[in-house]
Amino acid sequence: MSLFRKNTPLPVPEPFSADDIKTESSTCTGETTIGFYDKASKRLVYAELVRSERDIRDFYRKYGLEYNGGLK
């Protein structure tokens, strides 16, 4: 048994791509979430809470994508 985990990225969910990643902020609470934007339902799926820029980088890394610093 190893003490270190191997960080293997998750596959990007079908039918999404890196271009479908988007952040949204709540008008009530100001919470920011990141996820894959589903154009049909106009919602974020696989959404996660964002507290800092590091959380955004970690989301990209989780799916094996490169974060270039710009979001929609």
Chain segment 1-23, per-residue pLDDT in tens = 556 767 789 999 999 999 999 99
Which pLDDT does position 68 carry in this prediction? 84
Q: Are 33 and 44 in contact (CB under 8 A)?
A: yes
Q: Are 56 and 6 in contact (CB under 8 A)?
A: no
Domain ranges of the chain: 22-62
**Residue 70 vs residue 53, higher pLDDT:** 53
